[in-house]
Amino acid sequence: MSTTVPPVTTPPPRAGVRVRAKQFWGRVTDGLEINQLWSQFRADARASYRLYAREIDASRNVGIDGGRHWWEVTKQFFWAILEKLSPARRVLLLLALVILIFNPEVEWNTKGGTYLVGFDLRLWGGLLLFVLLVLEVADRVVMKRDLQIAREIQMWLLPVNPPAVPGLEVAFATRPANTVAGDYYDVFPRALAQGANQTYLLAVADVAGKSIPAALLMATFQASLKTLSATPCPLGDLVERMNHYICTNSQSGLRFTTAFLGEYDPHTRTLTYINAGHNAPIVRRSPGTIERLEVGGLPLGIQDQTVYQTGSTVIEPNDWLVIFTDGVIEAVNDRDQEYGEHRLLGVLNRGIHDPPAKLLSRMMVDLDFFVGATPQHDDITCMLLVGR
């Protein structure tokens, strides 16, 4: 019995070129579509604009004509870019721009006359810009690697799954605006005093600022909270000691922290709490009434020796408690409209029969739908609890 081997067909040269071109384009774009690339470019452009706009005064003085005004703005923009480079790279950029813009010509005097020799140095100017790009990309790669390590450490500091708390069902979610965040959340059992019931500490905090400085202070906040809460003491004493510690690292109040700290006693279903300048958490009672937890005082780290008032509430079965940072309700869409508490309550009211994890997922989806392609400008953290 004989078998027929089909002939090997070689694709035409043009087909091979198209395949290689498609592979090259896929590698460059990571498989993103044109509209996705455009959205990413717009997000990057907006982020860059916000970075430089902080150093540019675009206000127009009286008596200054339009041309001169925009020339001054352009100079400010140029210096805002230049000053973010190292001195050596500034010289490299200026040299490249001079070559590209002026492309100098040289006169050569000889016995036979004067010759005007033109040197086209634009290629060299482009190469200098490419060298500058390579140097900046190298810095970005190193920084991105370090940030990724910092993110992994930070995620290790935060709980992955909520603990089992008698009488409560808990869910939480966080979403950093950058690689690392300044938001903190946790739920953990407190140290027992002699003869006392086991209580659980609920914490949601927001360090002023974003990215690495806020993340470092968040780690400090987490370490001090875990250390100080290991000693049995009233919640008010714990918060005052936290404030004293944070004041020593807040740069005279510039790096303050808003926080909501609560201590839940499953035996009495009572939540004792202190709101240190944080967004007031929302308690939705089972009949539908709303209560806000506002008792407390100043944000931590602003003023030493601050005395904090303590509030309390009872979490009955089917009561919901929503604790969130300002990144949730202040998220904006492309029309510069804020998400707001009203919309957050709407999602809560529509999902009160769902488990907290499912309802929290619906909240995040609704938030994404609201903001659309608008870049996230602040860290987002939300904790949901329901009485059982």
pLDDT in tens, 45-92: 777 777 777 777 777 777 677 778 788 888 888 888 888 888 888 888
Residues in the chain, overall count = 388
pLDDT at 9 over 60: no
* Token pair listed for 348: 């809560």
pLDDT at 160 over 60: yes
pLDDT digits 0-9 by tens, 192-210: 766 678 899 999 999 887 7
pLDDT value of residue 356: 92
Q: How confident is the model at residue 280 (pLDDT cuts 50, 70, 90)?
A: very high
pLDDT at 222 over 80: yes
Q: What is the 3-state secondary structure (H, E, C) of the chain?
A: CCCCCCCCCCCCHHHHHHHHHHHHHHHHHCCCCHHHHHHHHHHHHHHHHHHHHCCCCCCCCCCCCHHHHHHHHHHHHHHHHHCCCCHHHHHHHHHHHHHHHHCCEEEEEECCEEEEEECCCHHHHHHHHHHHHHHHHHHHHHHHHHHHHHHHHHHHHCCCCCCCECCEEEEEEEECCCCCCCEEEEEEECCCCCCCCCCEEEEEEEECCCHHHHHHHHHHHHHHHHHHHCCCCCHHHHHHHHHHHHHCCCCCCCCCEEEEEEEEECCCCEEEEEEEECCCCEEECCCCCEEECCCEECCECCCCCCCCCCEEEECCCCCEEEEECHHHHCCECCCCCECHHHHHHHHHHHCCCCCHHHHHHHHHHHHHHHHCCCCCCCCEEEEEEEEC
pLDDT value of residue 106: 57
Higher pLDDT, 151 or 304: 304
Contact call for residues 279 and 338 (beta carbons, < 8 A): no
pLDDT value of residue 201: 93
Report the distance separating Cα 37 and Cα 6, nearest Å: 43
Residue 293 burial class via C-beta count within 10 angstroms: exposed 0-12, middle 13-18, buried 19 and up? buried
Q: CA–CA distance from 187 to each of 42, 81, 263 (Å)? A: 38, 44, 10
pLDDT at 10 over 70: no
Average pLDDT over residues 358-369: 92
Q: How confident is the model at residue 383 (pLDDT cuts 50, 70, 90)?
A: very high
Higher pLDDT, 187 or 17: 187
Q: Which residues neighbour 291 within 8 Å (Cβ) at sequence distance 6 or greater? A: 282, 283, 284, 285, 313
Higher pLDDT, 240 or 105: 240
259 bridge partner residues: 205, 277
Considering the four listed CATH numbers 3.60.40.10, 3.60.15.10, 3.10.20.30, 3.40.50.300, the one that applies to the domain covering 163-387 is 3.60.40.10
Average pLDDT over residues 29-58: 78
pLDDT at 8 over 70: no
Average pLDDT, the chain: 83
- Taking the domains of the chain in order of start, what are their residue ranges? 66-157, 163-387
